[in-house]
């Protein structure tokens, strides 16, 4: 299992159009179970995220407000903020 932090990776379709909030973390050479376990164990409020638009993705599971996705174009897992947007 390989972990890379500090790189923005992928996007999904949300209420915001075709962009999603993607955490700057990716997981390579891992299984779906590894990615889900990683999502459960990570302290996500310490990781930056940004809006991105990504193609070639498959939703795996939501874990406590974090989306676990597989990017079959780049062969890695990425994670998204799935909590509802706060109204201003």
- Ramachandran category for residue 66: left, alpha or beta (phi over 0 → left; psi -120 to 50 → alpha): beta
Q: Which of 20, 23, 32 is nearest to 70 (CA)?
A: 32
Half-sphere exposure of 15 (CA within 13 A, CB side): 6
Domain ranges for the chain: 2-81
| Banded pLDDT at 15 (limits 50, 70, 90) | very low
The Cα–Cα gap between 26 and 7 comes to: 8
Q: Exposed, middle or buried, 76 (CB in 10 Å: 0-12/13-18/19+)?
A: buried
The reported pLDDT for the residue numbered 83 is 79
pLDDT at 12: 38
What is the mean predicted confidence (pLDDT) over 25-38? 96
**pTM of this prediction?**
0.77
């Amino acid at each position: 299992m390989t972990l890379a932090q500090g790189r923005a990776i992928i996007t999904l379709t949300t209420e915001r159009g075709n962009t999603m909030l993607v955490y700057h973390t990716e997981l390579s050479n891992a299984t779906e179970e590894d990615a889900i376990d990683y999502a459960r164990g990570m302290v996500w409020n310490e990781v930056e995220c940004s809006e991105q638009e990504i193609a070639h993705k498959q939703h795996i599971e939501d874990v406590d407000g974090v989306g676990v996705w597989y990017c079959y174009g780049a062969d890695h897992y990425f994670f998204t903020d799935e909590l509802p947007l706060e109204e201003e």
